Amino acid sequence: MTHTSGRSGTSGASSGHNGPVGAKGPDELRRQIEVTRAQLGDTVEELAAKADVKARVHSAWDRVPREAVVVGGAGVAVAAAGVLVWRHYH
Protein backbone atom coordinates (compact mmCIF):
# COMPACT_ATOMS: atom_id res chain seq x y z
CA MET A 1 0.00 0.00 0.00
CA THR A 2 1.33 3.35 -0.96
CA HIS A 3 -1.49 5.41 0.52
CA THR A 4 -0.97 7.47 3.64
CA SER A 5 -3.77 8.31 6.02
CA GLY A 6 -3.49 12.06 5.33
CA ARG A 7 -5.48 12.91 2.26
CA SER A 8 -3.79 16.19 1.40
CA GLY A 9 -3.53 15.30 -2.28
CA THR A 10 -7.24 14.90 -2.92
CA SER A 11 -9.27 17.32 -4.91
CA GLY A 12 -12.71 18.53 -3.96
CA ALA A 13 -14.26 20.23 -0.99
CA SER A 14 -12.13 18.35 1.56
CA SER A 15 -8.85 19.61 0.08
CA GLY A 16 -9.11 22.93 1.88
CA HIS A 17 -9.32 25.31 -1.08
CA ASN A 18 -12.31 27.50 -1.84
CA GLY A 19 -12.20 27.17 -5.64
CA PRO A 20 -14.59 25.25 -7.85
CA VAL A 21 -14.93 21.60 -6.99
CA GLY A 22 -16.24 20.17 -10.27
CA ALA A 23 -14.19 18.90 -13.19
CA LYS A 24 -13.24 21.32 -15.96
CA GLY A 25 -13.89 18.80 -18.69
CA PRO A 26 -14.36 15.12 -19.44
CA ASP A 27 -10.63 14.35 -19.17
CA GLU A 28 -10.39 16.04 -15.77
CA LEU A 29 -13.50 14.17 -14.63
CA ARG A 30 -11.98 10.85 -15.72
CA ARG A 31 -8.77 11.70 -13.83
CA GLN A 32 -10.74 12.57 -10.70
CA ILE A 33 -12.67 9.30 -10.97
CA GLU A 34 -9.45 7.31 -11.26
CA VAL A 35 -7.93 9.10 -8.24
CA THR A 36 -11.09 8.45 -6.23
CA ARG A 37 -11.11 4.78 -7.24
CA ALA A 38 -7.47 4.39 -6.21
CA GLN A 39 -8.15 6.04 -2.84
CA LEU A 40 -11.21 3.88 -2.29
CA GLY A 41 -9.20 0.76 -3.14
CA ASP A 42 -6.49 1.76 -0.66
CA THR A 43 -9.10 2.39 2.03
CA VAL A 44 -10.74 -0.99 1.42
CA GLU A 45 -7.34 -2.72 1.64
CA GLU A 46 -6.55 -0.94 4.91
CA LEU A 47 -9.91 -1.89 6.42
CA ALA A 48 -9.57 -5.50 5.26
CA ALA A 49 -6.09 -5.72 6.80
CA LYS A 50 -7.39 -4.34 10.11
CA ALA A 51 -10.29 -6.79 10.09
CA ASP A 52 -8.07 -9.83 9.39
CA VAL A 53 -7.36 -10.78 13.01
CA LYS A 54 -5.76 -14.12 12.10
CA ALA A 55 -3.17 -12.46 9.85
CA ARG A 56 -2.45 -9.79 12.47
CA VAL A 57 -1.83 -12.47 15.13
CA HIS A 58 0.51 -14.36 12.80
CA SER A 59 2.32 -11.14 11.98
CA ALA A 60 2.79 -10.34 15.67
CA TRP A 61 3.94 -13.90 16.37
CA ASP A 62 6.52 -13.71 13.57
CA ARG A 63 8.10 -10.68 15.26
CA VAL A 64 8.72 -12.59 18.52
CA PRO A 65 12.26 -14.01 18.66
CA ARG A 66 12.28 -17.78 19.21
CA GLU A 67 14.81 -17.40 22.05
CA ALA A 68 12.29 -15.27 23.95
CA VAL A 69 9.68 -18.01 23.60
CA VAL A 70 12.07 -20.66 24.91
CA VAL A 71 13.22 -18.50 27.83
CA GLY A 72 9.63 -17.54 28.65
CA GLY A 73 8.51 -21.16 28.59
CA ALA A 74 11.37 -22.19 30.83
CA GLY A 75 10.51 -19.38 33.24
CA VAL A 76 6.89 -20.51 33.43
CA ALA A 77 7.99 -24.11 34.06
CA VAL A 78 10.34 -23.05 36.87
CA ALA A 79 7.63 -20.89 38.45
CA ALA A 80 5.08 -23.72 38.28
CA ALA A 81 7.56 -26.16 39.84
CA GLY A 82 8.29 -23.63 42.61
CA VAL A 83 4.58 -23.22 43.36
CA LEU A 84 4.11 -26.99 43.50
CA VAL A 85 7.06 -27.41 45.87
CA TRP A 86 5.87 -24.52 48.06
CA ARG A 87 2.34 -25.93 48.25
CA HIS A 88 3.69 -29.38 49.11
CA TYR A 89 5.59 -28.08 52.14
CA HIS A 90 2.99 -25.56 53.38
Q: What is the pLDDT of residue 21?
A: 67
Segment 7-47, tens digit of pLDDT? 444 444 444 445 456 778 889 999 999 999 999 999 999 89
Residue 73 has pLDDT above 50, yes or no: yes
Using CA atoms, how far residue 77 sits from 33, 84, 88, in Å, is 60, 11, 17
Alpha carbons 67 and 74: distance in angstroms, whole number: 11
Single pTM value for the model: 0.38
Contact by Cβ (8 Å): 42, 3: yes
Domain boundaries, the chain: 1-51
Tell me which of 45 and 62 has the higher pLDDT.
45
